[in-house]
Structure 1
Amino acid sequence: LVGQPVHLKRDFFLANASRARSEQFINLREVSTRFRLPPGEYVVVPSTFEPNKEGDFVLRFFSEKKAGTQELDDQVQAILPDEQVLSEEEIDENFKALFRQLAGEDMEISVRELRTILNRIISKHKDLRTKGFSLESCRSMVNLMDRDGNGKLGLVEFNILWNRIRNYLSIFRKFDLDKSGSMSAYEMRMA
């Protein structure tokens, strides 16, 4: 297994007996165990009391000679579809009317306006467990989408952001497996 990025399947554990395991498998904040093992290659499998729950894991070992370690983990990556950027003329008239209503006379959405808009929308989604969008998260979104550098979102910029948020919400709902309104580390990894 050394140097091979692999996902260990059930067959591996059926074919290879456990060399050592924690005596206590209980729901405590901290479980500590000491082992004395002969020289060799070992796979350490951390676990939590409840399946698919996130937890911290610390491994400390002592050896007579220099020993090497390597983390075996799945590579996390996202394959995103190409984002369609529309010109003002291509944007739906209903969306334009909504934007005019939200943006006001200046026809641009500021950080504070964005926070108000998103928090009003998110409050209507009772399946989401959130305290809403902070001013800082809205500032980050505006900075990300603001192509002309004026600190506000125009029609096209807001349209792109709006489509991204709708896409992220769709992904969230698909992978919130327990329908808790929030994502565990396991669900986030699957998404």
Structure 2
Amino acid sequence: MDRLLHHELRAVLSVCAALALALAVRGLHRGFSAPDRPGALALCLGGLLAFLVGWTLLKATGLKWFSHVRDFEKAVPVEDTGGALPTGRFLRDRPFSLRLFGLYLALALPLAHWEPVALGVLLWSALDWTGQAAVTAHWERRNGLLLWRGRAGDRPWELSVSPRPATRTASGAPPA
């Protein structure tokens, strides 16, 4: 099992690393140069960011066709699945997904050589995962639960929930 939030942040890091490597390879091969029309690029990136903020807010609602929150609320308690929670710090121990990095690098390298602006499609997915991570973190904090993915090895998309562990003070004692 893996925390849903950690899974999404790991995907963001992998995609951003693939994009950075693809842009570096393009820069080394064809030279680093400023865009021909920086105003158009800034307008395009601003529009992309505005649309993604709206899309993320739409996913944070309870609307039937868009909401991820509805999936979070249908999650089964971990105790009902018979599974035990992992105890490691997965994001710190494994912050990177090599499979996703390889897939995005295989897509990003040809796109970077063809037209670097086309990498906006890959940037879109990284920003979308960032928004999904924000929605997940907000839901977890508001409900006092942790979301886990992969209650069964062959169905990693199914979600489970567990209570958030009690916070501790700086001395390690439970709060009063």
Normalised to the residue count of structure 2, the TM-score between the two structures is: 0.24
Normalised to the residue count of structure 1, the TM-score between the two structures is: 0.23
Pick the structure with greater CA Rg.
1
Determine which structure has the larger helix proportion and give its number: 2
Determine which structure has the larger strand proportion and give its number: 2
Greater relative contact order (Cα < 8 A, sep 6+): 2
